[in-house]
Amino acid sequence: MATYEWQWPAVGHAKVIEFLERARRNNKIAQTYIFSGRDELGKTALALAFARNLQGGRDGFDSDLQILEREPDKKSITIAQAREFIKKLRLSSFLNSYKIGIVKEAELLSEEAKSALLKTLEEPQDMVIIILLVPDESDLPATILSRSQVLHFQPVPAALMYDYLIENYGAGRALAKDVANLALGRPLVALHWLENPEEYAKHLEKAALWLSALPLDVNGRLDVLDKVFSDRTWSALAVRSAADILDLAEGLSRDLFLLSLGQPDRLQHSAVQKELERALGDLEQKNGGGPSILKQLKLIAQAREYLGANVNPRLVLEQLIINL
């Protein structure tokens, strides 16, 4: 069996990695870990690296590493899934090593699944470790929190990602800066944009289109919406796409507010700074700037509530863009 060191994620989370490495080398491993932080920060990659280092650095997946995640057509992780996960973790180790279970989106565990997991935590087994990945530890019951080591994942500074993209991917300085800013501290997002330039270009095109709608009349705004969101269904895909548009709109409104405060160096969408400056000029001419931007942010927050309450995605976005 290979005993090399499994490589830790190359950028960000140095304090978490140092903590886990120290625990491993000192043989002070907790039975349950909670990795808490927003999506796409690299929690899964770090959990896998930790698991493989505990298992002697061997490569590949086997019965000693189990991953529990929501099935694509389900809204939650079911009790049946949780029971099967727990059953496999209780089997003897294939190579006399740690048995490790990783639960992705643990906040989506059904109440029955949480209860089953808690029972397992109350009856710990030697050499069995469970890692729960969540956006926020408050999404889990206190009974699970009290039995877990919580590690917080913070956004990676844009400057650190900027250096990483240049040194490891050969990105040009201007592109590295814009991608690092756009990623909002999420390394996986930055790499996705860099490795998929067509998608990156489409995102910037959507951003420019959304900004172009602000000075238009109602009909003009709806025409713009057709270009950035043409789905008129009520599908799960439409809901996710609408949520992405709301993320885009919120980021652009925040950038407009930063520009109004004279802080262009803090823009998320630095790649469309000229379009932002043009849109800000239009808003200042119409409304005096600040109050209109704050209104935008309130309307976007309201739109999120409607989307979460199962209102038709197209209707949510129509009402938003009309009232901006």
66 vs 45, 106, 202, 235, CA distance in Å?
14, 14, 36, 31
pLDDT of residue 287: 67
Phi-psi category of residue 32: left, alpha or beta, with phi > 0 → left and psi -120 to 50 → alpha: beta
Three-class secondary structure of residue 288 per DSSP? coil
Cβ distance 303 to 309 under 8 Å?
no
Residues 259-282: tens digit of each pLDDT = 999 999 999 999 999 999 999 998
pLDDT class of 58 with cuts at 50, 70, 90: low
Instruction: Enter the tokens of residue 30.
Output: 């907790």
- Please name the amino acid found at residue 263: Q
Separation CA 247–CA 240 (nearest Å): 11
Report the chain's terminal Cα–Cα distance, integer Å: 61
Confidence check: pLDDT of 288 > 80: no
CA gyration radius for the chain? 23
Residues 212-258: tens digit of each pLDDT = 998 899 999 999 999 999 898 888 889 989 999 999 999 999 999 99
Separation CA 98–CA 76 (nearest Å): 27
110 vs 116, 124, 135, 296, CA distance in Å?
10, 21, 16, 35
